[in-house]
Amino acid sequence: MNKLRLFGTSGIRGKAIVEMTPKLAAKLGLTFASFLGNKGTVIVGRDVRLTAKALSNAIISGLNSGGVNVEDCNIAPTPAILWALKKKKLDAAIAVTGSHAPKNIIGFLFFKKDTSELSQTDSSIFEKLFVNKIKKVPWNQVGKKIQVDISNLYLQSVLEHVNINKISSLKSTIVLDPGNGASTNYASKIFNAVNIKTAIINCDPNGSFPNRDPYPRPEVLGSLSNKVKELKADLGSATDGDGDRAIFVDDQGKILWGDQSAAIFAKNALIKSQGGVIVAPINSSRLINWICNNNNGKLVFSKIGPPAIVNSIKKENALMGIEETGKNIWTNTILYGDWILSTLKMLEIIKEMQSSLSDIVKTFPQYYMKKTMYSCPEHTKQAVLAKALKEWQKRKEKAKIITIDGLRINYSDGSWILFRPSGTEPVFRVYTESTKASRTKELANIGSKIITKSIQLTS
């Protein structure tokens, strides 16, 4: 299959106004209308980024020009848009969002009727239409737009998938950090509905993201950690700009990486179903292997990104898919991550286990993972990957090489390195993991030398 020109790992993304322009947005809307056969109804929502409204209006104009009707839900978390798509039985959805990316980046996520993103095959068809075969409709067949409020529908949808009695009976305090993003007002409404005592920080929707980066990671979640400790809360939970990622802070103020919380969810799903398949991308921790091996589960690796994870979920009839970024996908809900649902489910699990989040994590073996990224121009990424393999081979070490997505090197001691070009940003990522912190640091140094040299040699 030819390399896609527009789509990355997840959707179409780029610099606001410079690359992601209203003109492009209108053409993308018209292309999606053609993809849908120039009929049907699409729900469109957006995050809080400063250019999101202009680009949302433009893509809606393209959809309407292609004969497609639009339900515009304005600012909304991406998962809320998808719940509306599912519950209203509409034909497709678009989220105008930069998700976790820096505030000057924005993009478009396209979803099908079943709430999954366009697959690689779908994206290829879309791009061929974009270049050659956009279909226009006569002036008297253009689509219509209506404004809709989906906040109540979202509340009802997520609460259908948790035990409200268990959650409401918790004598808990939790701290939420929507990061000034699209989930802010929705979070308040839903957690108030289940009578959970909640403190919210970074709670004003603001596309300038004044308090922290939209990407929820340890480096930017210090305020959340401190607030959990200050209030002696049971947990903290943070998300990105559009509300799909869920990163947790335990009752001791420790920030958990996504695979640790995912391991809790995977174990819970496997126990309740007495086994099954869990899908995880190739950059996942060996902790997920351990969970599956000890709970009658089968782990299936996929490429990185929701479209690839969901494709494997469908193929394997999996219980759920997880991603180390904090995306948790339960197949009986929507085929995408949902911060609010993940947080509610974590509260439910804590109640069921009658344990603290920190004590639950203590039952898992310790793995040490390090993630580093290096600036790398888009046009050199594949050459850099090929060079990285050659540079590693010069070391003449024995290991198993996996090329599902990027280059993963598995050593006999269980440690590993993954070299992978980002599908959404001009960077190259290097992941390393081991059961020993010293070994992880050693591999990170090796990975740094290899990727730095590879980038220099191909620039």
pLDDT tens, residue by residue, 95-129: 999 999 999 999 999 999 999 999 999 999 999 99
Band of the pLDDT at 1, cuts 50, 70, 90? very low
Rounded Cα–Cα distance for residues 12 and 227 (Å)? 36
Q: Are 266 and 320 in contact (CB under 8 A)?
A: yes
Rounded Cα–Cα distance for residues 131 and 149 (Å)? 35
- Tell me: pLDDT of 220 over 90: yes
Q: What is the average pLDDT score of the chain? A: 95
- Tell me: pLDDT of 301 over 50: yes
Q: Where are the alpha helices (DSSP H) in 21-76?
A: 22-35, 52-65
Q: Are 383 and 282 in contact (CB under 8 A)?
A: no
Average pLDDT over residues 296-301: 97
Q: What is the pTM of this model?
A: 0.94
Give the per-residue pLDDT at 378.
87
| Domains defined for the chain, CATH in brackets | 12-149 (3.40.120.10), 151-365 (3.40.120.10), 368-458 (3.30.310.50)
- Tell me: pLDDT of 3 over 70: no
CA dihedral 352, 185, 150, 112 (to 10 degrees): -70
Average pLDDT over residues 171-188: 94
pLDDT tens, residue by residue, 329-373: 999 999 999 999 999 999 999 999 999 999 999 999 999 999 999
User: Which residue, 306, 343, 340, 339, is CA-closest to 322?
Assistant: 306
Do β-strands 41-46 and 69-75 pair in parallel, antiparallel, or remain unpaired? parallel
Encode 95-110: b = buried (16+ Cβ within 10 Å), e = exposed.
Answer: bbbbbbbebebbbbbb
3-state secondary structure of 116: coil
User: Which residue, 120, 127, 209, 107, is CA-closest to 425?
Assistant: 107
Average pLDDT over residues 32-39: 97
Rounded Cα–Cα distance for residues 159 and 169 (Å)? 15
Encode 316-334: b = buried (16+ Cβ within 10 Å), e = exposed.
Answer: bebbbbbbbbbbbbbbebb
Beta-carbon-side half-sphere exposure of residue 452 (alpha carbons within 13 Å): 7
